[in-house]
Amino acid sequence: MSVAIVNAVPRDGAVLGHTDEPLAADHIHEVSAARLRQTRQRYTRGRRALVQQLLDLDGPATIQELVEGGSDSSTSSLYRNLAILDQCGVVHRVVAVDDTRYELSEELTGHHHHLVCRDCGRVADLTLSDDVERALTRAATQASRTSGFRVAAHNLEMVGTCEDCAVS
């Protein structure tokens, strides 16, 4: 399994290398609704169902997976809802090996990393220990000192083979 440090997109309010406690589901819906209200968007039944669907998954999902596992929303309304939730900072886009995938923003679900299967493209969430996160924060500080680059956030991607692909 190789470890690659990919660029992390700084988001406002994101805390560098900090393991934030994930919010409870009810609170996630409240925060999502509030964020949409800020841009005069409504937290419709479809958007709420989509947030719940992402909440129930153990990793970022492709559009196809969301369509297959979703309720009644059409693909076009799914795209529209994802775009609006993305604009409001509720949903975050992850560029994966197979496709673009979507997950809830770390501010809602807590800081984490990803396990990426290079055979099937599946991406699973990975939470690292506080010790490792602290070491990563120190590494970022060191990198800032030597390169002058100001690290705002980080995201690790561990690339390998998932359990299903390993047996076949």
Q: Which residues bind Zn ion (CB under 5 A)?
A: 117, 119-120, 122, 133, 162, 165
Q: How far is the CB of 91 from Zn ion (least distance, A)?
A: 20
Indicate the residue among 83 and 135 with the shorter CB distance to Zn ion: 135
CB atoms < 10 A from the CB of 121, how many? 15
- The pairing of beta strand 2-6 with beta strand 155-160: antiparallel
Indicate the residue among 120 and 139 with the shorter CB distance to Zn ion: 120
Indicate the residue among 15 and 25 with the shorter CB distance to Zn ion: 15
- Taking Cα atoms as reference points, which of 91, 163, 168, 80 lies closest to residue 124? 163
CB atoms < 10 A from the CB of 31, how many? 19
Indicate the residue among 73 and 105 with the shorter CB distance to Zn ion: 105
Q: How far is the CB of 158 from Zn ion (least distance, A)?
A: 12
Q: How far is the CB of 136 from Zn ion (least distance, A)?
A: 5
Q: How far is the CB of 119 from Zn ion (least distance, A)?
A: 5
- Taking Cα atoms as reference points, which of 98, 104, 100 lies closest to residue 122? 98
